[in-house]
Homo-oligomer: A and B are copies of this chain.
Amino acid sequence: MTDQAKASMRLRVDMNNMFDEYVGAGNGLTEAEINELIPALSTAHETLQANRGTGMTGWMTMPYEQEEIVADILDAAEEIKNNFDAFVVLGIGGSALGPTAIQFALNHMRWNELPKEKRNGFPKLYVEDNVDPERLEALFDVIDLKKTAFNVISKSGATSETMSQFLIIRDRLMKEVGDDWARHIYATTDAARGNLIKIVKQEGMRMFVIPDGVGGRFSEICPVGLLPAAVCGIDIRQMLAGCAYMDELCKVNDIEKNPAMLGAAAKYAAMMKGRNISVMMPYVDSLKYMADWYAQLWAESLGKKFDREGNEVRTGQTPVKSLGVTDQHSQVQLYAEGPHDKFITFIGVDNYRTVMPIPEGYDDIPDVSFLGGHTQNELIAAEQTATEFALLKQNQMNRTITLPEVNAFTVGELMYYFMMETAYCGELLNIDAYNQPGVEEGKNATYALLGRPGYEEKRAEIEARPAKNPRWII
């Protein structure tokens, strides 16, 4: 892609509606508030850039340096295309949210219902991120094990959900295809440590490496996300090019040029003003699951009890997934008339990938006939603008991110934009944006409840909870 072509695909972030001038005096931010944050942001920027690739910022190197890995992934994708009709991701958290978001954004919305030729020969994709027994049963009803490949994704190989799925599938594959079962498994895991790499070596499975410094919620742009995308024919080089383009934009220590820096400043300032809810509302059906992916990134990164000095701070803003226009008939009543406790990120596009004209009809019914001669493209765009306008009138903060169109490049830009914004906010909040200590307690309690040796004390603690008051159970 030429520089000009890239620039024509640049996403735009419009923060105006976060400010008093648009959302009403006292309801938004002021220029002075943003300016006050510049020194801290500037330091955050220098820190981030200086540490690029170290510690848990390995994701910042992912837009680059992956040529060989990409070639290897494309090789495997070709092999999978030639041998299998379905590809099942066994993963949870980022390992599932990223692949789902990308697949729905960039491939046909009803991919698995298309005949093989309309999928250009690529396999069906299933992403299995729960351990509900009914869910796995339903999967087995629609796949043919002989023609299915599985992608087991776990950095540690200690993810109970994924490893339980693996044990079940391994057993079924052994029964169905015999000794060749391991040829149906592609592992994505740590290169050296953990349990899954041991299994990979023992069974002789094909594997891809989760690099150091790339946590689950940043993993879509490493082999975790790239393999499932490539397997379904998505142009992963363009995805990475989009990431690299955004990374370049974010290398500038200037809030008037660096979109993630401005985004982080406004979001942080909004949090400080009591906005504890962050709604993401794409007016683009294909970006629906991008809101789920973002929800993990934002919630797990910033939801922290302690700051870096160990002070109890309990930071974090609750992400809410919404969809335009659909949720105008579900959530917008609350967004408009409810408390001033949230801000909304609209996502729009300049061009949808198809045009859907609305035919004329029923001249005697104005509520219906006015639609004729327009397109659904015009209708959805008008509704987006109308909702923005209506929320402003109710003094509700919002911003709009616009993609020229949805493609592998712009989606790469968008994801990387959110990662950078999150990283800056982590710095401003002075918390570790890359750990998740709050999930350990539940993990250990699960071990205890399943009777795993070594967790007897935890089990005793669970059982020692006060007896429940029958008055509060009906």
Contacts and interface: CB of A to CB of B under 8 A. Distances in A.
Interface string A411-450: 0000000000000000000000000111101111111111
Contact of A285 (B132, B320, B383, B452): B132
Interface residues of A, number: 154
A135 B109 contact: yes
B158 A367 contact: yes
Interface stretch (A49-57, A70-78, A204-212, A255-263): A255-263
A329 B216 contact: yes
Contact of A468 (B16, B114, B318, B439): B16
Nearest to A334: B303
Interface string A320-344: 1101011011111111111111100
Given A130-B326, A138-B109, A382-B446, A359 B303 contact: no
A130 B170 contact: no
Interface in A277-335: 277, 283-286, 292, 295-296, 299-300, 302-305, 314-316, 318, 320-321, 323, 325-326, 328-335
A205 to B, nearest CB: 13
A1 interface: no
Contact of A277 (B96, B142, B277, B453): B277
Nearest to A312: B337
A472 B151 CA distance: 43
A121 interface: no
Interface stretch (A7-15, A185-193, A237-245): A7-15
A92 B316 contact: no
